[in-house]
Amino acid sequence: MRTPGVLPLLLAGGLVSCQKAPPAPTTPDKNESIELDIKEEDWHDPEPAFPKPRPSPQLATQEPAHPALVLRHATILTATGRRIEDGTIVLKSDVIAAVGDNSTPAPPGAEEINAQGKFVTPGIIDTHSHVGVYPAPWVDANSDGNEMSEVVTPSASVVSAYWPQDPAITRASAGGVTVAQILPGSANLIGGLGLTVEMRLGRGAGDVRFPDAPPTLKMACGENPKRLHGEKGGPKTRMGELATLRAIFFEAAEHRAKLSTYKRERALWERKRARAAELDDQAKAAGKPDRVKPVPAPSPPPRDERLEVLADVLEGNTLVQLHCYRASDMLQLVALADELGFGIRSFHHALDAYKIRDVLVSHGIAVSTWADWWGFKMEALDGIPENAALFSQAGGRAVIHSDSSLGIQRLNQEAAKAMNAGRAAGIPISEDEALRWITANPAWVLGIEKVTGTLEVGKRADVVLWSGHPFSVYSRPDLVLVRGRKVFDRRVGRRPTDFEIGNSAREGAAP
C-alpha cells in the first residue's frame, strides 16, 4: 500500500523516507534576459587540427632573363592544319608572339636565326615515359617506378621519386621532346599518380613540374598485375582484377559521399556561426547580452589518401591513364568507368584499339600506342602497324608514345612509320595529322592543350627547329626550346647532368 506524499527508497542501510522535494525553479519573466557566457572558442572547430593534403613541391628558382628569339625563312608546321613556307615565328617572354610569313617583324633586341631549308614544329610531347623513375643507369638502386608492396597504391606519386638529373632527360631533349608524362609502372592495378614535366634538368620535381597540369592516375589491367601479384596474395586472374578495382572504387564512392555530406554540414555550420556573430554584435550594440547558443563544428571523416585520390577521379579532377592491350579488357574497363561515372582519358599501348575504335571514339578516349611494337607477350600478339592510322581515320585522338628511354629520342620517326603504314594500307593520313600524334593530341591527353601542342600566338614557346623535314630519318633537332629557353643547341652539344660530371667515360663528348 502506498503512503501518500512519501516515496520509499531502498538504500544500503535500509528503508528511508525522502525528504521534502526542493521547490521547482521559477520561470523567468519574458522580459528578463538570460546571460550566456559565449566566447569564440565555444564554436569549436576541429578541422584545423586534422592533417591537410600535402602540397605539391615547388621550388622558387630564379631563371635568367632571355631575349626574344626569331626563327626566319623556315617551313613552319603548326599542327593546326596550317603550313607556312618561308615563314617566321617570334618567341618572346615564354610564349609565341607571332607566326607568319617572312614579313613578320622582329622585336627590338631579338636574336634572329636564319632557318632557311629547316623546319619548325611544336615540341614533341610523350604521354608515356618512365624517365626519372627508371633512370640511367638502370640498376635496382634506381628502380622507383613500381610500388609493388600492394596491388592498389593510388596515393603513391611519381613526384616523390622523380630524379630530374637522369641522364636520359638530356637525350630526350636532344630528340625534340619538350614535355612528358612520367608514370608509375604497370605492375599494380592502380600504380599511383603521374607527373607532367618540362623535359629539362632541375634540382627537384617541383622545379620541372609543368605548371597547372591536372593530376593524372596510372592504372593497368591484363597480364602484368596478375603475373606480378598472383603469388603475392592476388589477384591471379582477370576476374580478380576487375573485382579488386570494383571494390576499391566502391569504397572511394562511399568516401566521396561522406566528404560531400561533411562539406554541406560544414558550410551550414559556417553560415550559422557567421549569423550568430552578427546577432551577438547587434545585441552588444543595443546593450543586451549575447543570446546565441554556440554549436560545435561537424567532424570531418578520417583522412584516407588512397580513397581521396580515387574520389578525385570520380569527380573528374584526375585524368585516368590506363595501360591495357586486349580489346576485351578495354571494354571491361570502359563498362566499369561508365558504371561508376568516371572517364578514361587514354588507353596506353592499346594494341587492339583498332578492333573497338567505334566504342573508344564514342567515349572520347584517346589511344597512346606504338608505331610497330607487338608480339612480346600474349596480349600483344594482335598488334598491327596500322593501329594509329585506323583509329585516327575513325575520328579518334591517336598518340604515338615511347615507354622507352631510347624510343623517346626518336618519336618523330615513330610517327613517320605509323603514318606510312597507314598510307600503305590506303588510309589517307596527312602530314599534319601525323604531326598531331606527337604534339596536339598528347597535349590533350595531359590536359594542357590550351597552352601547348600547337604553334599559335599566345601558347607556350615549346618549339623545335629541325635540320630537315621532321619525318625524315636524316633530320635531327638543331634547337629545342622550352618556354623560349634553349634546352638543347646542337652547335653547343648536349649538357651533361650532375650525375655524369665525373662519372662518364665520355665526359664532354658530343651526342
pLDDT digits over 390-423, tens only? 999 999 999 999 999 999 999 999 999 999 999 9
Q: Where are the alpha helices (DSSP H) in 33-139?
A: none
pTM comes to 0.87
Query: What single DSSP character describes residue 2?
Result: P
Lowest-confidence segment of 10-19, 86-95, 177-186 by average pLDDT: 10-19
What is the per-residue pLDDT for 5?
43
Is the Cβ–Cβ distance between 279 and 285 less than 8 Å?
A: no
Rg (CA), the chain: 31
- Strands, DSSP E only, in 123-264? 124-129, 177-182, 190-193, 195-198, 216-220
Q: Which of 166, 193, 179, 153 is nearest to 54 (CA)?
A: 193
Q: pLDDT per residue over 340-373, tens digit each? A: 999 999 999 999 999 999 999 999 999 999 999 9
The fraction of the chain above a pLDDT of 70, given in percent, is 87
In one-letter notation, the amino acid at residue 113 is I
Q: pLDDT per residue over 188-244, tens digit each? A: 999 999 999 999 999 999 999 999 999 999 999 999 999 999 989 889 999 999 999
The fraction of the chain above a pLDDT of 90, given in percent, is 77
How many of the other CB atoms lie within 10 Å of CB of 13? 6
Is the Cβ–Cβ distance between 253 and 241 less than 8 Å?
A: no
**What mean pLDDT is predicted for residues 60-87?**
89
Q: Which residues pair with 100 in a beta bridge?
A: 88
**What mean pLDDT is predicted for residues 7-34?**
42
The chain-wide mean pLDDT, for the chain, equals: 89
How many of the other CB atoms lie within 10 Å of CB of 313? 25
**What mean pLDDT is predicted for residues 65-79?**
95
Q: 95 in helix, strand or coil?
A: strand
Cα 367–chain centre separation: 17
How many of the other CB atoms lie within 10 Å of CB of 360? 26
In this predicted model, which residue has the larger pLDDT, 166 or 24?
166
What is the per-residue pLDDT for 113?
97
In this predicted model, which residue has the larger pLDDT, 64 or 298?
298
Question: What is the C-alpha separation between 262 and 241, in angstroms, rounded?
Answer: 32
* Domains of the chain, residue spans: 125-240+303-453
What is the per-residue pLDDT for 91?
98
Task: Tell me how many degrees the CA angle 454-457-458 measures, rounded to the nearest 5.
Answer: 95
Question: What is the C-alpha separation between 133 and 314, in angstroms, rounded?
Answer: 27
Topology (CATH level 3) of domain 125-240+303-453: TIM Barrel (3.20.20)
Whether the predicted pLDDT of 10 surpasses 70: no
The H-or-E segment that residue 244 falls in is: helix 238-285
Q: pLDDT per residue over 449-465, tens digit each? A: 999 999 999 999 999 99
What is the per-residue pLDDT for 34?
37
**What mean pLDDT is predicted for residues 140-168?**
96
Q: pLDDT per residue over 246-293, tens digit each? A: 999 999 999 999 999 999 999 999 999 898 888 888 888 888 876 678
**What mean pLDDT is predicted for residues 142-160?**
96
What is the per-residue pLDDT for 45?
79
Burial (CB count within 10 angstroms: exposed 0-12, middle 13-18, buried 19+), residue 105: exposed
